[in-house]
Amino acid sequence: MKKPWHRLAAGVIGLVLSALNLPEVPETYRITGEAQGTTYAVTYYANREWVDRQQIDSIFKSLDASLSIYQSGSLISRFNASEKGIEMDKHLMNVVNRSMQIYRETRGLSDITVYPLVRAWGFGTKAADALPDSAAIRRLLTCVGSDKLKISHQNLLKTSPCVQIDVNGIAQGYSVDVIADFLEGRGIGNYMVEVGGEIRTKGGKLPGNEPMNIGIETPSATEFDAPAIRAVITIGDGAVTTSGSYRNFRESGGLRLSHIIDPQTGFPVQREIISATVVAPDAITADGFDNALLAAGIDGAFEILRTHPEMQAYLIYKKTDGTVADTASAGFGKYLVP
């Protein structure tokens, strides 16, 4: 097979530059597409195309085969349909292990076994015909709690057949990390990976090594409002994710019901925080904690953050008079772009 002429030309130019002892000028490579019910964008800087869209889409296919509740044959769907449990692959094991750790560290505010409640409130794979009443919630709560999950070697086991899991609250962050690790394995040290707004960056924009700026949205009043940027940050080598109760909701009786379900009460979260942005060393950590911070409220969020100095957070909340304000952990200011 003949090599594409542009790749052949790039190789010849590289040989000429090497012979003249001149540095190669890195190019910008951008890969975009759709996956996991959202969009993704991978931007990296290199002297040749080390990674292409086919490779990225193959990674998403592998992740979905393990973690997608929207695929009936995925491992997570097979676990949910099982009586006792299944054998995990590396993706499901990585996500479940980290999720259970975060469950303990947030005192149950982050809980992947909340899926029966998510479905009941109409935020699962299909809309609910009617909203659940208190009696239905009490019944479903008997199936909720990550203490009902057990890991034995490669196996994920459940103590009751009704236990089901949904890792959507952490899977996109994990996906970002998997792709970032793939890029680094190809020798790429300057990149930005974004999946559904969850981001991980390393290095800078070449050739000038400029910082990679990231915008934080102002929560919209309705799902149809165009997003506005409230703040701009640059995080260096790390990850940032945002959870917002304004992003996915249902209207019922004049109330806005958040897609974030409190696993302790069984009802949609009704707290003053409407957006939680978390910066952490990796995206699975940031993504795993952002929902919990939102569910914890201002005081609870700062209590969690005090025990995790590796994380910083920016919180947008609604005051008692209805106005919107913001606050942040002490170390978040270093990320803000003036």
Res 205: pLDDT = 97
Res 72: pLDDT = 92
Would you state the torsion angle of the CA atoms of residues 276, 281, 284, 285, taken in this order, to the nearest 10 degrees? -60
3-state percent breakdown (helix, strand, coil) of the chain, nearest 5 = 35, 25, 40
Q: How large is the average pLDDT for residues 142-151?
A: 97
Query: Mutual orientation of helices 90-105 and 283-306 as an angle, nearest 10°?
Result: 10
Res 258: pLDDT = 73
The token pair at 52 is 């292409």
What pLDDT band is residue 127 in, cutting at 50, 70 and 90?
A: low
Count of CB atoms within 10 A of residue 100's CB? Answer: 19
The token pair at 127 is 């809309």
Rounded Cα–Cα distance for residues 156 and 154 (Å): 7
Rounded Cα–Cα distance for residues 66 and 88 (Å): 8
- CA neighbor of 174 nearest in space, from 98, 113, 80: 98
Res 271: pLDDT = 84
Residue 223 has pLDDT above 60, yes or no: no
Angle at 223 between CA 193 and CA 318, to 5 degrees: 90
* 3 state DSSP class of 58: helix
Task: Look up the pTM and report it.
Answer: 0.88
Lowest-pLDDT choice from 97-101, 118-122, 292-296: 118-122
Percent of the chain with pLDDT over 70: 85
Helices (H), the chain: 5-19, 53-67, 75-81, 90-105, 115-120, 134-141, 168-185, 283-306
pLDDT, greater one: 99 or 130 = 99
pLDDT digits (tens, 9 = 90+) for 195-222: 999 999 999 999 999 999 999 988 765 4
Please identify which residue in the block is written with the tokens 């794979």. Answer: 125
Q: Which domains does the chain have, with CATH numbers?
A: 73-95+111-165 (1.10.3980.10)
The token pair at 272 is 């003053």
| pLDDT, the chain, mean | 89
Residue 128 has pLDDT above 80, yes or no: no
Residue 337 has pLDDT above 70, yes or no: yes
